[in-house]
Homo-oligomer: A and B are copies of this chain.
Amino acid sequence: MILAGGVGGSRFVRGVRHAHPEATIDVIVNTADDITLHGMRVCPDLDTMMYALGDGIDPDRKWGRNDEGWRIMDELRTYGVEPTWFALGDRDVATHIIRTELMNAGYRLADVTAALCHRWLGPESKIRILPMTEDRVESHVVVDDPEAPSGRRTMHFQEYWVRHRAEPDALEHLLIGIKETSPAPGVTESIAAADLILIAPSNPVVSIGPVLAVPGIRAAIRAAKAPVLGVSGIIGDAPVLGMAHRLLPVIGVEVSAAGVGRHYGHRDSGGLLDGWLVHDTDAGAAEALTAEGLPTVATPLMMDDPAATARFLAVGEELVGRRA
């Protein structure tokens, strides 16, 4: 069982699949980045996961579809229809059209995701992609805005991330609606039944944070029999992928492998982890965290290919053991 976001998360899951080709793997994916654009429901992390595991992802961009076209975006721009800052490829739009039609017909997100995954993973897949929740929740970011009466402005995370490239300082990160959510069907059951729980090296604020904030998920992980292994997405003082360094300070977490390790915390001191992996250049952090009671190993964490991911996963599994 893996908690994950999109781009980094999907690379991690590919590595886990490579390490355990026969294992049943449930991936619980962040949905707080989801957004409705031009009337279509877009689930960036679910789609990235699905495309990446189904070999449909663009290998250069690392998101969106391979062999993608941009006619629809061109048209929307020519029609003068906003927003134009969120890139919707033509192939990708087909996914959103199908999802939106199914949801408008009354199907809920877990079933819709399963229906879409039927194509990407096949009917016999041992991998199951689950949304963290079927309820609406949205990541919003608060920034300074001298022109607003309050001096601040709140925008959807996608607008902050994609349109503004995380350039304005984030003052606050809000998960609108999170308290009213509940885990999607299968999520807590999957956590309880797992023999290993993995926290992918995804963004701790906007990817893993929302998953853990769905009421019931954190408690289910703490109650789970399986050991919990986390992998740092931060190497030195910067994220391997993405812009987590722009958001970690907002939740009071130091931008370092140690900072994120402490943020997740050891199970025995109210946290989640049984073990924590940091990059081999962060050996100092590993030593410090282990001394603080969180078993941590420094090992090469680059996910250049699934085999590389499988190698550090083996180190982590040895660290936390597997309970029978």
- A residues touching B (Cβ–Cβ < 8 Å)? 38-40, 67-69, 71-72, 74-76, 78-81, 90-91, 93-95, 97-98, 100-101, 104, 116, 119
Contact = CB atoms under 8 A, between A and B. Distances in A.
A91 B71 contact: yes
A80 B69 CA distance: 20
B72 A93 contact: yes
Contacts of A68: 71
A68 B74 CA distance: 12
A90 B71 contact: yes
Nearest to A81: B98
Contact of A75 (B79, B80, B94): B94
Contacts of A74: 91
Contact of A78 (B69, B90, B119): B119
Contacts of A72: 72, 90-91, 93-94, 97
A119 B81 CA distance: 11
- How many copies of the chain does the oligomer comprise? 2
Contact of A90 (B38, B80, B90): B90
Interface residues of A, dominant DSSP: helix
Contacts of A39: 97, 100-101, 104
A24 to B, nearest CB: 24
A68 B72 CA distance: 10
Given A38-B97, A39-B101, A119 B80 contact: yes
Contacts of A38: 97-98, 101
Contacts of A116: 79
A41 to B, nearest CB: 10
A69 B90 contact: yes
Contacts of A101: 38-39
Contacts of A98: 38, 76, 79, 81
Contacts of A119: 78-80
Given A40-B97, A72-B90, A76-B94, 12 more contacts: A38-B98, A39-B104, A67-B71, A69-B90, A71-B94, A72-B91, A72-B93, A72-B94, A78-B119, A79-B94, A79-B95, A90-B90
A119 B77 CA distance: 11
A292 to B, nearest CB: 49
5 closest A-B pairs by CB: A75-B94, A39-B101, A71-B90, A90-B90, A72-B94
Nearest to A101: B39
A216 B50 CA distance: 53
A100 B93 CA distance: 14
A145 to B, nearest CB: 26
